[in-house]
Chain A
Amino acid sequence: MRSRSNYPIQVIAAGFLVLAFLSLSLFWARWVCKSILANNMPMDYRTVDITPSGLVPGDFESDPNMLRRSGAHAHIIHPEAPQSLGFMDYVIGSSPAGRHSDVYLLKYDNEAWHWIYFDRSTGLIACRYEIKERMPDTTITRKMVQIYVGPEGISETPDEDTGRFTSPIVDVSDIDRGQLTLYDKKLRQFFAVKFRKEVELIKGPQLPEDDPRRPVDIGLLSKNPSVLDLYWMPLEIKISENNQDRALYRSRGTHIPIREGNSNYRPDRYTLVLDESGQIDLLDRETLEFAGPAGRLPAPETFFPTDKRITPGDLLAYRVLSIALKEDHKYRGLIAATVSREGTALALAVFNERGACFESKDTRAKNSRGSRNVPSSSAVFFGTPWSPVITIGKFLLENIHPPILSLASYFTAGSIEAASGHRAMFLLPNSFIAMKGRDARVNIAARFLFALLLISPSIVLAILLAMRVSKDAAVVGLPQKTRRFWKLGTLAFGPAGYITYKLTRPKITLVTCANCGKPRRPDMDKCHRCGSKWDVPELIPPAWRVLNGAE
């Protein structure tokens, strides 16, 4: 029953449980604060419009009957939507065509399954689809085709000769029209699979070793579409009917696509490719070669601004739409919207066909005097009713978190992917200290000192708790080494360390030492304070003994 030998194991086990439950409870408390702040964000904090877009020919825009100019509109739907949590992310991401799914198409049509998916065991793209063929007698015959596509060819059964894809990135936007474009990260090559009467595999050139491009997305570039809405507003011109003088409206410069899966979409020559650096390039659909820059992901202005170029991993959400006009299907440019890591800032940018930025805007709010524009990422914390209180609440909750983890959040600020940051329990990538960690404006020392200031309540609390623990550990008679361990542990883990100490503290009722008068442990031979031997003055046994050894 004496378990001194496994005391460290006890402490680690109790410590982990305390840390897990405390972190989870604090997570939900912070989530409530963030949700309230997000809910209170007025629309102008989360909406950006760029009008005119600059992508429609000038003669369209200058039509005398013009009612509304063309433009791009973006707004944040809800940054703390349940979709940002792991449960929904897993469910949505794992469904066919989801972000984590290897299934690009799955449907049940005409009593048969149709599918396109990546089979990791064979490294091939498996396809099953229906071909309709018009016969000479005008009847239509339907035939189910099942094929396996590899980088070296196509076969009707899994075949090693067709090669092996390793980690393909796939553009699913044209599947309904029988084309699949994909990029394999290991092979560093683009491929196109065309599903017509015959299946055709087109291979693009392999990217050179020194090519810095690392594609991460192709086609309809979007991340967390439930957080961000982006759409194109076509130009509207007033016309009148001949026999009735009633004004009607006609849209011109209709965007394709307006929404993913729009059946009116007719593909242009190019598709978009997003690089891990945030650069967007055009890819020629026919030659599968890069055709020039298309733009880049705009950087939203965060609470502590950063000069660093924004990457897809730094963003909670992005959406990019290429614009082609109905009149000629010629590529005109693209509109790109991004939401910052914390979900409190939105940036919208318009790039022309050469990839030059036409215009870029952030979400901003007017301050109380109505004069100066403040970034929404700052206004959300202090600019709406009750937001200062909630912000202070969020700040205090972050300061109950273990200081060592807060510091770790500072150092790992930029390396955690933005969406998974909303699900982080132990590290806090969206905390004030992490935001400061990403602040590239000031030097390292100043940044670190400011960060320490942000967690100063946490440090003060940890010091106070460490002092209490140290004092109690001395009273309880723990050895010097153990006391030092507890002091450091409580300094590092704050309330979690203190609670762990309380749970694992030796449960011994102390007894007053007859020699020094201080509390001492009865399970020790000598008083751990004065070193005197054991004495029990309250028990008065008789002076005599009748003792004998065994017979």
Chain B
Amino acid sequence: MLTLIRREIRDHIVYFIAAVVFSAILIAFLTAAMYNLDWVGSVVFEALSVPILIILVLGFSAMGVTQMYLDRNRRISAFLSALPVTRSRILTARIIAGLLAILIVLVPLTITAIVMGRLTGPPIPISSGHIADILTTVFLMTFACYCLGLLTGWTANKIAPTFGALGLNLVLVSLVFVKGFGPNIKFLLVLVIVACLIRTWHKFMSTSL
């Protein structure tokens, strides 16, 4: 399994590098915002939070699409299937690699937010619950969009994964505007993730390689 995960990471190293860079940019913004709420804070939180979220989710969706599309068209799984590797392991390794990329962005951001909150905020538990809500929702949304990418990417067609994934992701991201960051959206996103993974699993396991 580790070999397969390493293979996925190496094959899609661009996304991991981009995740690290993006994480660094977000941490820089967050740090600047916490220390200088007047202008940076308003820029970050009011103007950039939505584009940042959209870049994040579309980026990871693109990663999911790329992973599956390249596999299908370069017949990577067909080659790997000839080795002592099952399709379920290939897909599991793929999903773990995607999760790792997401965590590369979100874990440092979470740590920074918690530290910044402790350093600059009042010493009361006002925002820890909100930070947890927001970051959990962002994580679930990002993972859901990634899973959508996996689902739509398994095709030989170029248009379907590109526009299909884009359209579905934009619709899914709008769920945040409808439901906010409460328990409802988390529950819905978990269901979306489970449903996407079940469909992806079935598609990947049953089509010819």
Contact = CB atoms under 8 A, between A and B. Distances in A.
Interface of A: 1-3, 6, 9-10, 12-14, 16-17, 20-21, 24-25, 27-28, 82, 85-91, 94, 96, 101-103, 106, 108, 113, 115, 117, 119, 121, 126, 423, 425
Contact of B192 (A17, A86, A101, A425): A17
A170 to B, nearest CB: 15
A1 B204 CA distance: 9
B3 to A, nearest CB: 24
Contact of B178 (A24, A101, A115): A24
B119 interface: no
A329 B126 CA distance: 37
A362 B125 CA distance: 44
A398 B39 CA distance: 44
29 contacts: A3-B202, A3-B205, A6-B202, A13-B194, A13-B195, A16-B195, A17-B196, A20-B188, A21-B168, A25-B171, A28-B174, A85-B177, A85-B178, A86-B179, A86-B180, A86-B181, A86-B182, A86-B185, A87-B176, A90-B180, A90-B182, A108-B122, A115-B124, A115-B126, A117-B124, A117-B126, A423-B178, A423-B179, A425-B178
A218 B84 CA distance: 69
B12 interface: no
A91 B133 CA distance: 11
A96 B192 contact: no
Contacts of A10: 198-199, 202
B123 interface: yes
Contacts of A82: 177
B191 interface: yes
A17 B199 contact: yes
Interface of B: 122-126, 130, 133, 168, 171-172, 174-182, 184-185, 188, 191-192, 194-196, 198-199, 202, 205-206
Contact of B198 (A13, A28, A90, A117): A13
Contacts of A103: 124, 126
The 6 closest A-B pairs by CB, nearest first: A86-B180, A90-B180, A13-B198, A13-B195, A113-B122, A86-B179
B174 A90 contact: no
Q: Which of A9, A90, A117, A423 has the most CB of B within 10 A?
A: A90
Given A3-B205, A24-B178, A27-B178, A115 B122 contact: yes
Contacts of B184: 86
Given A14-B195, A16-B195, 13 more contacts: A3-B206, A10-B198, A13-B195, A13-B198, A17-B195, A21-B171, A24-B172, A85-B178, A87-B180, A103-B124, A103-B126, A106-B124, A117-B126
Nearest to B195: A13
Q: Which of A13, A96, A117 has the most CB of B within 10 A?
A: A13
A2 B206 CA distance: 7
Nearest to B134: A90
A6 B205 CA distance: 12
Contact of A1 (B125, B199, B205): B205
Contacts of B176: 86-87
A126 B124 CA distance: 9
A126 B123 CA distance: 12
A220 to B, nearest CB: 22
Contacts of A115: 122, 124, 126
Contacts of B192: 16-17, 20
Contacts of A14: 195, 199
Nearest to A28: B174
Nearest to A93: B180
B81 to A, nearest CB: 12
Nearest to B122: A113
B171 A24 contact: yes
Contacts of A16: 191-192, 195
Contacts of B171: 21, 24-25
A123 B199 CA distance: 46
Nearest to B175: A24
Contacts of B126: 96, 101-103, 106, 115, 117
A347 B192 CA distance: 41
B86 to A, nearest CB: 12
Nearest to B182: A90
Contacts of A85: 177-178, 180
A94 B130 contact: yes
A9 B198 contact: yes
Contacts of A102: 126
Contacts of B175: 24
B199 A13 contact: yes
Given A24-B171, A24-B174, A86-B180, A113 B123 contact: yes
Contacts of A113: 122-124
Contacts of B122: 106, 108, 113, 115
Nearest to B181: A90
Contacts of A21: 168, 171-172
A89 B199 contact: no
A543 to B, nearest CB: 33
A524 B116 CA distance: 64
Contacts of B181: 86-87, 90
A24 B188 CA distance: 12
